[in-house]
Amino acid sequence: MKEGRFEHLVKILTIGESAVGKSCLIQRFTKNEFSPHHTSTIAIDFKMKVIEINNVRLKMQIWDTAGQERFNTLTAGFFKGSDGIVLTYSVTDEKSFQCVNKWMDQVQKLAPVDVKVILIGNKADLDAERKVSREEGEAMALKYGIKFYETSAKSGENVQELFLDIGNQIFEKIEQNPPAWMTASKGPNMSSMMTKPKLSCCGGAPRET
Ligand code: GTP
Ligand code: MG
């Protein structure tokens, strides 16, 4: 990355049932790797990846939550202050698809009102085991007014696209209410940006329950 570009830290949360492929999607995006073995995420973890849009570096802090029910309370504490949420189900797992409604309920109760949410039907490579059609996924996304992708962490299909899409949506939100450093001809250096508080437009208060 070239020096002198402005940098903005954004918080992205991945949520969804256990074993739908949240960790694998993050691993594919950040390292371009895939592991066929399921190691359930314990508690929470995060990975970083920087993307660049219009000369602005978006430093994506991607939180990998645990889908197992015993961690739901812990996960709930991480919705606050999120800029983007990647809600994932597996196209091979009908229950994980039904649970999208439960997760959206959590998003609406706990996440900032202007959070950008994207719905993902993962494991699209497993055609023979498919239980949820693309049309059903599209209808679910339409119901909540959010974007939808089918992905495969295994083949890499649509993985970059989904994270770049949510990055773009967050960037557009920042642009609508640009901070001084974004409009100034010369901004502070990147490391000093990282120590500044987050923008109010991206870290709004949680919704009333
Ligand atoms: P928790 O951490 O328990 O919440 O699960 P998770 O959602 O993080 O699932 P994880 O990424 O660990 O993946 C679960 C299993 O599904 C692993 O065995 C992965 O190899 C497999 N898997 C993930 N994504 C894909 C995919 O796109 N295609 C196929 N065929 N398998 C996948
Ligand atoms: Mg995991």
pLDDT digits (tens, 9 = 90+) for 142-178: 999 999 999 999 999 999 999 999 999 999 988 887 7
The answer to whether the Cα torsion of 23, 25, 27, 29 is positive or negative is negative
Structure tokens at 57: 């570096």
Residue 37's pLDDT is what? 87
Instruction: Report the pLDDT averaged over residues 104-117.
Output: 96
Question: Model confidence at 196, in pLDDT bands (50, 70, 90)?
Answer: very low
* Mean confidence (pLDDT) of the chain: 86
DSSP secondary structure letters along 12-57: EEEE-STTSSHHHHHHHHHHS----S--PPPSEEEEEEEEEETTEE
Instruction: Report the pLDDT averaged over residues 78-92.
Output: 97
Q: What angle do CA 157, 162, 167 make, to 5 degrees?
A: 150
Q: Name, in order, each residue with C-beta under 8 angstroms of 183's C-beta and a sequence gap of 6 or more.
A: none
Q: Quick check: 25 and 122 in contact, CB under 8 A?
A: yes
With a 6 Å cutoff on the Cβ, whether 121 touches ligand 1 is no
Q: In a mutational test of the pocket of ligand 1, which residue from 14, 23, 93 has the highest number of ligand atoms less than 8 Å from its CB?
A: 23
Question: Model confidence at 5, in pLDDT bands (50, 70, 90)?
Answer: low
Point out which residues pair with 52 in neighbouring strands.
57
With a 6 Å cutoff on the Cβ, whether 68 touches ligand 1 is yes
Residue having the nearest C-alpha atom to atom 14 of ligand 1: 19
**Does residue 23 surpass a pLDDT of 70?**
yes
pLDDT digits (tens, 9 = 90+) for 24-73: 999 999 999 999 988 899 999 899 999 998 888 999 999 999 999 999 89
**Does residue 190 surpass a pLDDT of 70?**
no
Q: Please tell me the least confidently modeled range out of 72-86, 133-147, 187-201.
A: 187-201
* DSSP single-letter state for residue 67: -
Residue 182's pLDDT is what? 66
Which of 152, 61, 149, 67 is CA-nearest to residue 103? 67
Residue 55's pLDDT is what? 83
Contacts of 71-74 spanning 24+ positions with Cβ under 8 A? 71/42, 71/43, 71/44, 74/43, 74/44
155 or 199, greater pLDDT:
155
Q: Please tell me the least confidently modeled range out of 4-18, 116-130, 193-207.
A: 193-207
Residue having the nearest C-alpha atom to atom 13 of ligand 1: 21
**Does residue 110 surpass a pLDDT of 80?**
yes
How remote is the CA of residue 17 from the centroid of ligand 2, in Å? 9
Instruction: Report the pLDDT averaged over residues 92-115.
Output: 97
Q: In a mutational test of the pocket of ligand 1, which residue from 18, 24, 127 has the highest number of ligand atoms less than 8 Å from its CB?
A: 24
Contacts of 135-140 spanning 24+ positions with Cβ under 8 A? 136/97, 137/89, 137/91, 137/97, 140/97, 140/100
Count of residues making up the chain: 209
**Does residue 4 surpass a pLDDT of 70?**
no
